[in-house]
Structure 1
Amino acid sequence: MKSGFLAEERETYVLGALRVGFALLLLGQTAKRALELTRAGYFGDVFHVPLLPESLVPSATTYGVLLGFAMLGCVLSALGVLARPALLGAAAIGLYCFFCDRVQYHNNRYQLLLLSALVAMTPCDRSFLVGRAARVGPGPRWALRLVAAQVSLVYLASGLGKLLDPDWRGGTVLLLRFAMGRERVAAFAPAAVVELLSAPWFATAASAAAISTELFLALGLWFPRTRVVALWLGVMFHFFIEVGARVELFSATMLVGYVAFVRPEVRERTLGWDTARPLGRRLFQLFSRLDVLARFDHGACAGALLVARDRDGHEHRGLAAWRELARAMPPLFPLWLPLALLTARRRTSAPQP
């Protein structure tokens, strides 16, 4: 296994998940453009701002064909058929369409296209293949470094931009966004929460928290000591964005991009379930399927419903075992920090021998 920032080679299994995630997101966005074409008509027939000479802007028929090829590329990439060139081609078509009409441009759409193109440069075609087994082995990581750097740059640029904007720092922007989403929040949240979202002081505090979070994420994702906290904070950050503002594509793109920071080696942890119990058997089957990033080696044990071993070989039972499970299982990851705090409190309050 080679080392060095550019020459480093490590396991490539998780790259398949990155490819599938971006292919599906890009498929959804391209399908929206195709739906707009059928409902609103061809953009070239109305006001548009091409960055290319008008002669290079496609006709309505050609534009529809390009969107069809882009969707086909996304489907093929998600299935693992010509995965890399198909994803790169779909991203290239999307970028070309931006040059044909500046009105269609959106930062979050561009971010998705750019990350998809970068992922296509990684050895992401070795796993998550329909009808074929994964090919294990190391591969170069230089392109994945670019994916991770792009994710960080988005947070850095966004955080610094907000920090330099007095309307953002003062809470005005968030107060307006909270007002726009007030009816949606009122449908499921208590009245006290709705009133809180209308308070200027809360918008100011939320703005400071958002700016601090984005600047921390830009750096914290890179360091092993802070990565798990940064990932958890990022997940919760995007959850609250979707609840309060719903910024198109931003959260989904960034959450998929977090896979670029996942440790590439697989099955370094173990989970033992008491399969003698019906509940243990069901949980064993459930979490074996949910472990899409292959973080755990799943097996049977006796004496406890769940026994977990971390990468260092330390054994955990009870809530500590569920903490280890939540730390590396994406569907349960939001529970990791509460469980970590609860088990840390129990350790500190336990009597010393």
Structure 2
Amino acid sequence: MRPITYSRATDAASAVATVSADPTSDFLAGGTTEVDLLRQNVLTPRRLVDINDLPLTGIEALPDGGLRIGALARMSEVAASPFVRERFPVISQALELGASAQLRHMASMGGNLLQRVRCSYFRDAESPCNKREPGTGCSAIEGFSRGHAVLGTSEHCIATHPSDVAVAFMALDARVHTQSPGGERVYPIDDFYLLPGDSPHREHPLEHGELITAIEVPAMPVARHSLYLKVRDRESYEFALASVAAALSIVDGTIADVRLALGGVATKPWRAMHAEDFLIGASAQRDNFAHAARVELAVARPTPMNAFKIELAQRTLVRALETLTGNGSPA
């Protein structure tokens, strides 16, 4: 048994100062990932700083129609917010599909964005894993890789990013607010997640001790007509094999605006920019949806075990768009 020092922070500045001064320390919020990894000896902090008393739980409608979510707001609270459900249904749906009810009541929004990969090689604390121990290798590349990524991979890591709501935030151009030892910072969501490249142990640009304080979603009329579609092995409490966050605006049969992001198939929440570029100005019909999906997945690099994800992601994207146009079913 490893001894762990525990303390409760009363304000963000002291929490940041305490953690940043000690490289063996970490923040503790809902604990739904942190505690699991502590038990598995994957994470080994010597100090935990409990931040649950910090005033970071707000769910605020901004004057311009945007949304600001405190980092300590619980997933269930955000999903149930009438403003979120009306203006950003894709966020509510992603949260409700992202975990069991018990976990949603405990898990914080900031912690959700920072949750670690579900790769079994990362979590067994013994297999070679470049995320856990840089330079040791990636066991998944030649091992069991059915649930792993086909987009954004490298020769050093193919682990899939697990968050559902991060996929919705990616589609909506969210920004992540933090407090660091040097002051406040704001990260566009696409910059907040790093591709593995040759340093898969760095998943975010955050420095040690930097604390997420809020997630801001800009006002976006297209988001009112949005959905999150998740395909998984079983219907309840399972991670995505493929998922799509989609928002769509059609004027006179032509796509005026579209936002797309993929989950379950990439090493980070994946903004489907190639598909979006193809669809803007195109007619809203299945052939165009299918072509856009093929364009987006053209750069996929599967293993023999997860090659099925390419077609699955394409079909999921098409179904999401057909559902938004009224020509398909979300189930």
Instruction: Give the TM bin, normalised by the shorter chain.
Output: under 0.3
| Structure with greater helix share of residues | 1
State the structure with more CA Rg.
Answer: 1
Structure (1/2) with the larger strand percentage = 2
